[in-house]
Amino acid sequence: MGVAANAPSGHDGPMASTLPDIDQTLATTFGFTDFRPGQRTIVEALIGGENVLAVMPTGSGKSLCYQLPAVISPGTTLVVSPLLALMRDQVAALRRAGIEAGSLSSATPPQEARSALDGLADGSLKLLYMAPERLAANGTIGLLKGKIARIAVDEAHCVSQWGHDFRPEYLKIREAADAIGHDLPIAAFTATADPGTRDEIARAMFRRKPKIIVHGFDRPNLSIAMEPKSDPRRQIIAFIRQRPGASGIVYVSTRRKADQLADGLVKANIPAISYHAGLDGAERTARQDRFQREDGLVIVATVAFGMGIDKPDVRFVAHADMPKTIEAYYQEIGRAGRDGLPADTLTLYGLDDMRLRRLQIDQSEAPDQVKRAEHQRLSALLALLESPACRWRMLRSYFGEPSEPCGRCDVCRDGIVEADATTEARMALSALLRTGQRFGTEHLIDVLLGEETDKVQRFGHAGLPTFGVGKERTRPVWRGIFRQLYAAGMIATDRDGHGTWQMAPEARPLLKGEVPFSVRADVFQARAKQKAPPATKAALSDLDEAGQALFDALRAKRREVAEAEEVPAYVVFPDRTLIDIAMKKPTDKSAFADVHGVGQAKLDRYADMFLPIVAAHLGQPTAH
Ligand code: ADP
Ligand code: ZN
């Protein structure tokens, strides 16, 4: 029976004094100098034997919260995790850090499974990873009974029957915990923020009420930009070209688009693959693995891609189509920059996206109440997209966290100026009314611009007083006006999917000229605005030119080592470590130990491989 399970909960238990210092373990074993916000509180609660439900956004460092207590406390920690690939990589990373870890799954080689079971028997195994299906399988409880000190559950929202990721086996975890040991402490982790899911987890997973720790939705290393679609392929390629050699994810709305855009990128000499639910299981796994392991690959994917992704050095996430909700958006951009280094995101959106989303909601089978909620969530998303205020501030306030302007989103960087668009708005409304509220954006713009198209001739629209009144403005400007009118609730789309516009009653005063209408000034700029330098470059640019060359050499070495050891590159060292080596230029082992992410095990294993690269760079023989 694990000792920690019997430890009194609370802060002044006897364990604190007898355990190794957590700060010291953080440095020597994990190679980190500081805890991230929230980590210390959770670590201390787990060491104190408390039940914890931790809500932390993706990439905020949840694994460390149970790994560090597992290393320090006596006994074996059982980690329930839904994804085999992720499990395998985590175990590999832990072993490299000198921590006894193993997994039991269908994918575990027999040799490894045997040594994990031996470690479990003699108590030397610190972490045992297992999928929920395996935990629920016959015979597993007998294997674990009395040998587990505490349980950590990853992706705990999978227990929610109303959620998208529901896994029935998650409902059996609590029962399994009872059978394995009496009143075992359980720590559950999730990135899903909404209070309903949170309550459901608390009820389904715990016997005692857990301590709920929710922390920061800020991601200081992520930059946000949002841009109307003009030519999405060109926009995405331009965005990627500013970040050469970076790994990234591009989200699209359909399988076909995923394949097409991936093709387009390859033709533009950008290494890219697609990923979607239309591929068979083996192919999907192969592509996901490739993305996980390879440096500098772009994956163009539908939302089917994501949950299993644990790649810390994803340098950008782009949305070529509008995301579904703010929650989905946050999850998806959260896959960038998990290593804490700067990463960029770009979201494209257009009228078609907005209309399609509205249609999906209206045509779903859901009860009216759910539909109403969905429409509200869509409005919140549109408000964020067209917002004249700081993006991060709006995003965090959506999750219930007040904050100051971030200084790193496109609005903060470029500043948003409002411009008066009363005249244009009235022209657009007039064109809409005079054509009978039966047409979509492009035809209305034809009328405004005075284009003699077939359709214009067929309906006799060239004779309207509105015909050609909008010549002063370009087509993209007019699209922007329609978008802003839509986001402001002045026009509404039909419910049958033909993409025609109706005027909302709210627009009457505007049409009559009684109230003004203002838009973000960039609506009037024909082309996209001046781009800020990519954040990734900004981090690397802390290095001088020689430092860059050293970084490249270190990266080449890392690739060689990773290939030889058959692990992803970041398992050897994350980018951040390489940058730190390139800055500190350590010439001996003790200097190497000060590098970010280098603990004792990695020092022993890798110092002699990487020190010569630095020495060669400095033109010196290696000092041992
Ligand atoms: P999550 O599970 O919350 O999505 P992870 O546990 O995968 O996030 O952690 C994301 C990355 O952050 C990993 O590369 C991890 O090594 C790193 N990390 C975690 N804690 C720290 C820390 N205190 N200092 C520096 N890096 C950290
Ligand atoms: Zn901002």
User: What's the pLDDT tens digit per position in 188-228?
Assistant: 999 876 666 778 899 999 988 899 887 777 888 999 999 98
Mean pLDDT of 457-473: 94
- pLDDT given at position 85: 81
- pLDDT given at position 608: 94
- pLDDT given at position 371: 79
pLDDT band at residue 11 under the 50/70/90 scheme = very low
- pLDDT given at position 9: 40
Cα 115 to Cα 94: distance, rounded to the nearest angstrom = 15
pLDDT band at residue 389 under the 50/70/90 scheme = confident
- pLDDT given at position 198: 78
Most confident of 182-186, 401-405, 488-492, 516-520: 182-186
Mind listing the pLDDT tens digit for each residue in 218-260? Answer: 888 999 999 989 899 999 999 999 999 999 999 999 999 999 9
61 lines ligand 1 (CB under 6 A): yes
Residue 603, pLDDT > 80, answer yes
Mind listing the pLDDT tens digit for each residue in 345-375? Answer: 999 998 889 888 988 888 888 877 677 767 8
Tokens 């990487």, residue located: 610
Q: Kindly give the pairing relationship between strand 418-420 and strand 518-520.
A: antiparallel
Atom of ligand 1 nearest to the CA of 30: 16
Atom of ligand 1 nearest to the CA of 93: 16
221 lines ligand 1 (CB under 6 A): no
Would you tell me the crossing angle of helices 368-385 and 326-333 to the nearest 10 degrees? 50
Cα 112 to Cα 365: distance, rounded to the nearest angstrom = 48
Residue 520, pLDDT > 60, answer yes
Tokens 């070209």, residue located: 241
- pLDDT given at position 446: 96
Atom of ligand 1 nearest to the CA of 154: 2
Domain boundaries, the chain: 2-214, 222-414, 418-524, 540-618
Asked whether the domain spanning 418-524 has the same topology as the one spanning 222-414, the reply is no
Choose between 318 and 213: higher pLDDT: 318
29 lines ligand 1 (CB under 6 A): no
64 lines ligand 1 (CB under 6 A): yes
- pLDDT given at position 400: 63
Q: Could you count the other beta carbons within 10 Å of the beta carbon of residue 280?
A: 9
- pLDDT given at position 18: 56
Choose between 483 and 558: higher pLDDT: 558
Type of residue at 589: K
- Of all protein residues, the one whose alpha carbon is nearest to atom 9 of ligand 1 is 61
Q: How far is CA 177 from CA 147, 331, 539, in A?
A: 12, 29, 45
The three-state secondary structure class of 117 is: helix
- Of all protein residues, the one whose alpha carbon is nearest to atom 13 of ligand 1 is 339
Lowest-confidence segment of 101-115, 157-171, 436-450 by average pLDDT: 157-171
310 lines ligand 1 (CB under 6 A): yes
What are the backbone dihedrals phi and psi of residue 345, each rounded to the nearest 5 degrees, phi first?
A: -130, 145
CB 597 within 8 A of CB 96: no
Tokens, residue 72: 């320090």
Mind listing the pLDDT tens digit for each residue in 84-138? Answer: 888 888 999 999 999 999 999 888 888 989 999 999 999 999 999 999 999 999 8
Helices (H), 459-599: 475-487, 508-511, 535-540, 545-565, 569-572, 575-584, 589-592
Average pLDDT over all residues of the chain: 87
Q: Which ligand is nearest to the CA of 415?
A: 2
- pLDDT given at position 604: 92
Mind listing the pLDDT tens digit for each residue in 254-306? Answer: 999 999 999 999 999 999 999 999 999 999 999 999 999 998 999 999 988 88
- pLDDT given at position 331: 87
28, 32, 338, best to mutate for ligand 1 pocket (most atoms within 8 Å of CB): 338
- Tell the CATH superfamily of the 2-214 domain: P-loop containing nucleotide triphosphate hydrolases (3.40.50.300)
36 lines ligand 1 (CB under 6 A): yes
Lowest-confidence segment of 147-161, 430-444, 514-528, 546-560 by average pLDDT: 514-528
Q: How far is the CA of 60 from the centre of ligand 2 (A)?
A: 20
- CA 244 vs. chain centroid, Å, equals 21
- pLDDT given at position 606: 94
- pLDDT given at position 217: 78
Q: Which class is domain 222-414?
A: alpha beta
The three-state secondary structure class of 267 is: helix
35, 55, 215, 339, best to mutate for ligand 1 pocket (most atoms within 8 Å of CB): 339
Residue 528, pLDDT > 90, answer no
Most confident of 17-21, 41-45, 212-216, 412-416: 41-45
- In 350-432, DSSP assigns E strands to 418-420
CB 431 within 8 A of CB 444: yes
- pLDDT given at position 274: 97
- Of all protein residues, the one whose alpha carbon is nearest to atom 15 of ligand 1 is 61
Choose between 8 and 466: higher pLDDT: 466
Mean pLDDT of 490-510: 79
32 lines ligand 1 (CB under 6 A): yes
pLDDT band at residue 163 under the 50/70/90 scheme = low
Of all residues in the chain, the percent with pLDDT exceeding 90 is 53
Choices 1.20.1530.20, 3.10.129.10, 1.10.10.10, 3.90.45.10: CATH for 418-524? 1.10.10.10
pLDDT band at residue 461 under the 50/70/90 scheme = very high
What is the CATH number that goes with domain 540-618?
A: 1.10.150.80
Q: Could you count the other beta carbons within 10 Å of the beta carbon of residue 109?
A: 8
Q: How far is the CA of 521 from the centre of ligand 2 (A)?
A: 17
Cα 229 to Cα 428: distance, rounded to the nearest angstrom = 20
Choose between 579 and 624: higher pLDDT: 579
Q: Which ligand is nearest to the CA of 575?
A: 1
Lowest-confidence segment of 290-304, 311-325, 380-394 by average pLDDT: 380-394
Mean pLDDT of 604-617: 94
